Structure 1
Amino acid sequence: MEYHCITCIVERGKAEGIADEALRAGAHGVTIYQARGKGVRERLKFVGRFIDPEKEVILIVTRKHETQTIFDTVVKAARLHEPGKGLAYVQAVEQVVGFLEPATPAGAADSPALS
């Protein structure tokens, strides 16, 4: 099975709602952590003072065939087409250990929970 990792960086306080939307779109799990941005504020000088450097980073490991749907949902929920709302990108994942596949229906053949 092939996997991707969706990374989304947004303003502080926005990640929880975006993560909820990703889960509704089929993500199996989401990791959120705090971060601090640097670079854009300094380049914009005076105007940059109004940009909060505190960010939240959302990581979502997806199966390849689910990536586009979940990515599109994240972009929409985060309003990333609007300037200054954040950014998102997708990376291929070479190896995964511990990714829990969705539960198999009752009576279905057992499949490994870990890939």
Structure 2
Amino acid sequence: MQVRHPDIPGLDTFPGTAFHSARWNHEVDLTGQRVAVVGTGASTVQFLPEIQPKATHVDVFQSTPQWVLLKPDYLLPPGLHRFFAHHPAARRALRGLHHWTQEAIGVPFLPTEWE
């Protein structure tokens, strides 16, 4: 996998730790740290909610704004976890429902004419 790094002046002399999310450095403890994230893609949507509660401060930088929809995160009750552990098809069905519900929300934003 080829990893693209943004062209940020001074990045080569930055004294802190820097790494690409595709090459996550698990040795770095972000607890109590100031963190800057460059990009708002799918990876960011996945890892940002996990690191934000640990970090003292998080800044997110994006070059081009994207359409943003709420990510439906919620805790499942322990009983439902147990149910899904014994019924993986039900877990996949719920995941599929979430996926296609989110996809359907975006349909009105599709262009009416394709270039």
Q: Which has the larger share of helix?
A: 2
Tell me the TM-score normalized by structure 1: 0.24
Q: Which has the larger share of strand?
A: 1
Name which structure has the greater RCO, CA cutoff 8 Å, separation 6+.
Answer: 1
Which structure has the larger Rg over C-alpha atoms?
2
